[in-house]
Amino acid sequence: MNIVDYVERKMEDFKSSKFNPVDSLVLSQFAYLNFNNIVPGLTDDKTPVRIGDLLKAEYIPHMLNNTWDPESNRRFLIAMGMSPRFRDIKMCCYSDSVNIDDEKQFAAITYLLDDKTAYIAYRGTDMTIVGWKEDFNMAFISPIPSQLEGLSYLNAVAERFSHKLMVGGHSKGGNIAVFSAMECHPAVQDRIITVYSHDGPGFKEEVFSSEKYKKIKGRIHKTLPQSSLVGMLLHHQEDYYVVKSKEFWIMQHNPFSWVIDKDDFEYVEDITGGAKHVNMVINQWLSSLDDEKRELFVSTLFGVFESMGVVNFSDFTEDWRKKAVIAMKTIKGIDSETKAFVFETIKSLLSMYLKTSPFRPKLKLKADSRPDAEN
């Protein structure tokens, strides 16, 4: 079963069955829904909203707008609103901020599980182009704007509520959770029980030698699907658990594909050999570029997208022929030196992959087919 099945079948509340890593993924995925004008914001002095009270016909289209998988999220939303485990959770402090100029895409929400415990969920990368660019920016910018906003959010929520805290998120949200827990006020950090990162990318290497990271390392619970790509990006030192997925390769990043067995994930021994190879190549490739070259590559790549006028990935399908023509004109207009650098960078990545691939076919010649074979 997946997280939707889990929500539909799990009848016990948190007093009868304690909070587990699957619950964390459930709340992290729920953070992808749009709660603007439905759930009180971070600075609003309004009553928190029960998950069960979200099931109103006028709310549902808005909450599902621009989500990656609207049909799965619809079933998920209905299951959450009806679930005896989740329906009485109160939601508050919703924050949703996209700033193209600052190259920032951030969203977070706080779940009050009871009078003593709260879960702060950071949204991962959504369908906005700026959100994906911010992900790429992690390769040369530290901290990125979303990490800083995540830190500010955690401190603000901790000041407002005296609860014990769990923080987590999926994808970039998991990375923000780790960063925020690492950098928050010491008194706030003391209240953090667990930090959940569900297929969240790592950090630049110097982060792991810091005292701040060492203080929370033992509280980090990281899960990856068996062919993880996103969660293995950059450097990481956390121990991680590998979850079975029903999808193939990059599609395993989708939390709805993760397999659940009763009250926990169905785990496998390790990530696949193919995934290890791809991640090794990408990280070696990034290491071969200094920050200036990484920035040039990312800004050039996303400059093409920006010239097409796309804001969300869904925009690519609208008048795509016209957008393709614009993209080609933009590429032609790039100066020759930058263009050569970008193509050489892509070429070096592909070459590195092929040269080190454990799956590369080895050609063997029959004895009588060698050029020097005797007749």
Q: What is the DSSP secondary-structure string of 83-145?
A: -TTTTT-EEEEEEEEEETTTTEEEEEEEEE-SSSEEEEEE----SBHHHHHHHHHTTT-SS-H
Residues pairing with 96 in the sheet: 107
What pLDDT is attached to residue 302? 80
Q: Using an 8 Å Cβ cutoff, are 121 and 197 in contact? A: no
Q: Which residues of the chain have pLDDT under 70?
A: 126-127, 131, 235-238, 313-317, 353, 356-375
Q: How does pLDDT run across 214-264, given as a tens digit for each residue? A: 999 999 999 999 988 777 777 666 689 999 999 887 788 899 999 999 999
Closest CA to 20 of 7, 33, 34: 7
Q: Which domains does the chain have, with CATH numbers?
A: 3-272 (3.40.50), 288-356 (no CATH)
What pLDDT is attached to residue 329? 87
Q: What is the pTM of this model?
A: 0.86
State the Rg of the chain over Cα: 23
Q: Provide the residue count of the chain.
A: 375
CA–CA dist 153, 149 (Å, integer): 6
What pLDDT is attached to residue 40? 98
Assign 165 to helix, strand or coil: strand
What pLDDT is attached to residue 140? 80
CA–CA dist 155, 341 (Å, integer): 42
Q: Which secondary structure element, helix H or strand E, spans residue 30, and what is its range?
A: helix 21-30
Q: Which secondary structure element, helix H or strand E, spans residue 209, and what is its range?
A: none
